[in-house]
Amino acid sequence: MLNTIIRKEIHNHVLSFRFLAVFLLLLVIVPATVLVLTNDYIRKQNDASRRQTEIQTYLSQYAHFNRLYGVIAPSQPPVPFLALVRGLSAEVNLGEFDNDPLPVMFPLIDLTFIVTILLSLAALVLSYDAVSGEREDGTLKLMLANGVPRAKIILGKLLGGVATLLVPFLVGLAVGMVLLLLNPRLGWKGSDWGALGLILAGAVVYLSLFVGLGILISSRHHSSASSIMTSLFVWVLLILVIPNLAPYAASLIRPTPSRIKLNREIARLTDVDRDDLGRKLQKEKTEAVLKQYPILAPVTRMSEAEIKAAIKKDSALAQAYRVLAGEIEAAWKEANIIQGEKAKVLREDLDRIQKSQTQLALRLSMASPLADFTYLAADMSNTGMRNARHFESLVSAWNQLYGEYMRRKMEAMRKANPTMDVWNTATDVRDLPRFAYKEEALPGRMMSGLAPFVVLLVLSLALFAAGFAAFVRYDVR
């Protein structure tokens, strides 16, 4: 009996104009999206390669520590999944506006957009009259008169609606994946295919949620016209209103201090106040060294070239000058540490408050199925907030290696020439440890995507239960 109802639902949908429109739309949009995003990924990959080439040129000709980090600062290379899911990479880069304004004004769509917007609308379009429409046609009364259980009717409508929509979506995606695989530069791994499978599982649950929502709304109306209006209202609320209002609600509940004001205070602590403290400590340490080494008294009135010539002739002066240079460096290091700790306290307080606000906004937004699927797809594809945190952890580990390398290199430069300006003198850094980005393993991403998937599943089951309860009490007359 259940199979008969499912086949009936699929048959009725397939023969409708609504299904034809959805099928043609997905068959065109999904492959076109994959093709466009693949080309965009290749462009980003080329940009990343050119950047590495330019860095190599700089390191071989101009490298000095005053500007070195700004040149080699770690940047995340494009991940292969960008051919399907844009994630956080979809953030607008206003710096590109002068070159080509269209990608900024009209950003590319991706698999997440297709599922969350197009498929959810298609699900409501196909299911808004699942009950009220059959009541108007009289077929619902006939099924019940023939002893068909209401539970099987409602379950058959759900499964039939989901199966009907999955066909055009999977066909379009299959065509898109063929286009993706024909490009030899993408090189998907087994973990990428596993992540895609989990995203598709989330898409099935997401689709069943909106089919169930359409059935619920249809079971609460006796007119298809009123049912479609209610469906559109609820769709706007779930898809557009809740995700966009969640950050503003979180900012009202847990406000954060002004970042502009805080940055101004941090700049004062690490710039003006740091320089004042550094000069004070340098003066104190210099006076102490001059008392200990009277031989250094003439040095304060000599040029760098004269100092260099003098310490070559006098080993005692050279030893004393190394002590003086070390104390001066220690003075500025101490100033940097003192002022840096003050700035660190302010940054940590702001980060703590902002993380709390972000977590609240995330929890509030998860009332929307769109937000749940977006978080799931972004984390599974290594393009979301979890990957941003993973990238930060890799950068932090590399920064420690870079700091140790810089200290060893500077010590060697000072040992070779005590008067050398180690910050602004070009040096050989071919042995510099390079940053290497590595994607997070699939099990870690699965743990992160579990919460939004469970929320989607719970919402879907709740809507189906509500729809069944409404249908049990539905008057078919």
Amino acid 90: pLDDT: 46
- Asked if residue 247 lies in contact with residue 361, where contact means CB atoms within 8 angstroms, the answer is yes
pLDDT (tens digit per residue) in 324-356: 888 888 898 999 999 989 998 988 888 888 888
Which tokens go with 211? Answer: 């089919």
Provide the pLDDT for residue 89.
Answer: 54
With bands split at pLDDT 50, 70 and 90, how would you rate the model's confidence at 466?
A: very high
Q: What is the pLDDT of residue 316?
A: 81
In terms of C-beta density within 10 A (0-12 exposed, 13-18 middle, 19 or more buried), how is residue 110 classed? buried
Give the distance, in angstroms, between the CA of residue 270 and the centroid of all CA atoms in the same chain: 30
Contacts 24+ apart (CB under 8 A), 11-15: 13/126, 13/160, 13/161, 13/164, 14/164
pLDDT at 95: 43
Q: Name every residue whose Cβ is closer than 8 Å to that of residue 370 and which is 6 or more positions away in sequence.
A: 116, 117, 120, 238, 239, 243
322 vs 411: CA distance, rounded Å: 11
Among the residue ranges 20-34, 99-113, 372-386, the one predicted with the least confidence is 99-113
State yes or no: pLDDT of 92 exceeds 50.
no
Most confident of 84-93, 239-248, 408-417: 239-248
**How many Å from the N-terminal Cα to the C-terminal Cα in the chain?**
23
Residue 106: predicted pLDDT:
54
The 10s digit of each residue's pLDDT in 101-132 is: 555 455 678 999 999 999 999 999 998 888 88
CA pseudo-torsion sign 391, 394, 400, 401? negative
Amino acid at 384: G
- 97 pLDDT more than 50: no
The more confidently predicted of residues 291 and 101 is 291
Confidence of residue 453 (pLDDT cuts 50, 70, 90): very high
The answer to whether residue 173 scores a pLDDT higher than 50 is yes
* Range in 176-185, 187-196, 299-308, 378-387 with the lowest mean pLDDT: 299-308
In whole angstroms, what is the distance from residue 233 CA to residue 251 CA? Answer: 26
pLDDT of 419 > 90? The answer is no
pLDDT more than 90, % of the chain? 33
**Two tokens, residue 380:** 């599974």
